[in-house]
Amino acid sequence: MMLSRSDRSSLSIWLWTIDKWIFFSFLTLLILGIIFILTSSSTLELKLNKDSYHFSIKHVVFVVFSFLIAIILSKLSFYKIKLLSLVSFALFVTALLYSIQYGAEIKGAKRWVEILGQSLQPSEFIKPFFIIINAWLLTIWKSMRRKKFLFLSILSILSIDIMLLLQPDLGMALLITTIWIFQLLIIGIPIFFCIFLIFVIPTVILLAYNFYSHVYVRINDFIFGTNFQANQALKLFNDAGYFGKGIGEGSLKNNLPDAHTDFIFSVIAEEFGIIVCLIIILIYTIIILRPIIIAFHCKDVFQILSLSSLSALIGVQSLIHISSNLSLIPTKGMTLPLLSYGGSSTISAAIIVGFLLSLTRKQIDFSEVSLNLENYK
């Protein structure tokens, strides 16, 4: 299919230039997420005395809003992505500080703020914007060798980690720090410095184990195999078989309050089977690897850093969720991007995909595009 001079509408140009692999993988996960929330949240709706399809309807609204956000972001230039990230990062850091002091406390953590009657988790939105800003800082440091930009990068991650630990949200702090270290490795920071930073992570976990009771309990439950939620999820995962028990026939959602969020992958395995789980992993693999493959052919350092680290963010978060559902690591309240219920989580993932679509868009010189189909007869 050739692009003609008469077809230069915004929609046609957008369809021509976006990466189809990323876009349709994103769209598929959004659609699957609606189906999975529909089947995983029914029991919770009864327990909470909510209307039928309460969570499903809310999630559809989140999905539509997220889809529109991804489309809008996919049209932005690199400069506008940087500017938007800078402003948004400042806003959500402010919201994060507010949540620490005045946020609603749920399960011992103050991670949410109320905006227009909706709960918002600022740390979810900080992730993509921080990655873009840090890629920008490291790009300037790499090209100009001004140490103050590297110092700003270090200062920003330390500030975010301190705020997250005050909530507390150790998992989010470790996730963002891991991606930050990944960016340093790509940009070419001396390896000994990165090795030192890698050793910082287990040190932080050890300190959290001794000072945070919920971390102590989760790690001990993992070591001694006494975590009821994880054991239930793993047992039902093993019993699911290739094709599952059938839609709505699973029992996991009856026993776990977080079946539609933290244990959505186990619900999927139980009701839809291992084959569907493998298909989902394949879709995530496309979203993760496709931008990295494109990054190998890029010359712009900011583009390379952003593409690889945004992809890594989706990959690491998905890996943590799936691993905790399989009892390979201690349970962590971390959602599966685009599939778990939650407005903050879904919109944050859509922002990441929107950035990926923008950063992978083809650049077309219309003066070089053949305009006459007669030339191809």
Reported as a single tens digit per residue, the pLDDT across 74-111 is 999 999 999 999 999 999 999 999 988 887 777 667 77
Mean pLDDT of 253-261: 77
pLDDT at 211: 64
Q: Dihedral of CA 281/282/284/288: which sign?
A: positive
Q: Dihedral of CA 219/220/224/230: which sign?
A: negative
Residue 36 near residue 269 (C-beta atoms within 8 A): no
Domain boundaries, the chain: 16-361
- Most confidently predicted of 2-11, 245-254, 260-269: 260-269
- Most confidently predicted of 4-18, 48-62, 158-172, 308-322: 308-322
Placement of tokens 């046609």 in the chain: 12
**pLDDT confidence bin for 376, thresholds 50/70/90:** very low
Whole-angstrom Cα distance, residue 97 to residue 32?
34
pLDDT at 107: 67
**pLDDT confidence bin for 363, thresholds 50/70/90:** low
For residue 168, whether the previous peptide bond is cis, meaning omega lies within 30 degrees of 0, is: yes
pLDDT for 229 beyond 70: no
Identify the three-state secondary structure at position 48.
coil
Q: Which of 72-81, 179-188, 329-338 has the lowest mean pLDDT?
A: 329-338
pLDDT at 236: 66
CA distances from 218 to 213, 222, 224 (A): 9, 6, 10
86, 131, 91, 84: which is closest to 115 by C-alpha? 91
Count of Cβ atoms closer than 10 Å to residue 74 Cβ: 23
**pLDDT confidence bin for 11, thresholds 50/70/90:** confident
Count of Cβ atoms closer than 10 Å to residue 316 Cβ: 18
Mean pLDDT of 203-222: 66
- Most confidently predicted of 43-57, 329-343, 359-373: 329-343
Bridge partners of residue 104, in order along the sequence: 112
pLDDT at 115: 78
pLDDT for 366 beyond 70: no
Mean pLDDT of 263-289: 93
Residue 136 near residue 82 (C-beta atoms within 8 A): yes
pLDDT at 52: 76
Which residues are CB-contacts of 178 (< 8 A; sequence separation ≥ 6)? 201, 316
For residue 291, whether the previous peptide bond is cis, meaning omega lies within 30 degrees of 0, is: no
Q: Dihedral of CA 254/260/262/266: which sign?
A: positive
Higher pLDDT, 47 or 322: 322
Residue 271 near residue 364 (C-beta atoms within 8 A): no
pLDDT tens digit string along 278-334? 999 999 999 999 999 999 999 899 999 999 999 999 999 999 999 888 878 887 778
**pLDDT confidence bin for 374, thresholds 50/70/90:** very low
pLDDT at 231: 64
Bridge partners of residue 106, in order along the sequence: 109
pLDDT for 193 beyond 90: no
pLDDT at 375: 44
E strand or H helix at 112: strand 109-115
Helix 301-325 to helix 78-102 angle, to the nearest 10 degrees?
40
Based on the number of CB atoms within 10 Å of its own CB, is 101 exposed (0-12), middle (13-18) or buried (19 or more)?
Answer: exposed
pLDDT for 168 beyond 90: no
pLDDT at 10: 73
Conformation bin of residue 114: beta by default, left when phi > 0, alpha when psi is -120 to 50: beta
